[in-house]
Copies of this chain bind each other. A is one copy, B any other.
Amino acid sequence: MQTNKTRVSPTLPARERILLTAHELFYRDGIRATGIDRVIAESGVTKVTFYRHFPSKNDLICEFLEFRHRRWMEWFVDALQRHGENLNALLPALSEWFNDGSFRGCAFINSVGELGAVLPEVVEISRRHKQEMMEVIGQLLPPSRHRADDAQAVAMAVDGAIIRAQFDQSPERALHVLNRLLKALLTK
């Protein structure tokens, strides 16, 4: 557990600061590994303020996931657009993410692994996230009879690549292997 004081901008409203701090700590260190006290200290609010916004840690966890979902989807859609908005955009987009120094896998996969058995809401939110990710991927594919099926296959390959990138030191192999998988899938 690091002790970095990574204060968020103190001009933001309290709720925003808490959410940003929780996002960073939960994603980086894990959810159960992060105490509420730490979130409170690093977001620079007091306990009362915190508990007025989030009645319990579970509430914060859910809001964190919703926040992460919005943020990640925005980035994803934007990155795909920037890279051409077709299937070839997928690799460079993911490469951005995997190469970001703070990358530590998919927050939803991690959360379900950590809390899925104990907090059903986590699974539900995460399912929605993967569903939306898949839909966005689907829009990269040319319309056809089996576009939906293809989107599922690509999304599954992407999840595999996320795991791979999280396990390896460098994301290169993950991207390379994903590329193989995508090529095989489309020139079929």
Chain A residues packing against B (C-beta within 8 Å):
1, 28-30, 32-33, 104-105, 109-118, 123, 126-127, 130, 149, 152-153, 155-161, 163-164, 166-168, 173-174, 177-178, 180-181, 183-185, 187-188
Contact = CB atoms under 8 A, between A and B. Distances in A.
Helix, strand, loop or mixed for chain A's interface?
Answer: helix
Copies in the complex: 2
Given A104-B117, A113-B114, A178 B166 contact: no
A99 to B, nearest CB: 18
B160 A156 contact: yes
Nearest to A131: B167
Given A30-B114, A109-B113, A110-B113, A156 B161 contact: yes
Question: Which of A164, A168, A174 has the most C-beta atoms of chain B within 10 angstroms of its own C-beta?
Answer: A164
Given A29-B117, A33-B115, A153-B184, 8 more contacts: A116-B166, A153-B177, A159-B159, A160-B161, A160-B163, A181-B181, A184-B184, A185-B185
B117 A113 contact: no
B163 A178 contact: no
Contact of A167 (B30, B105, B130, B177): B130
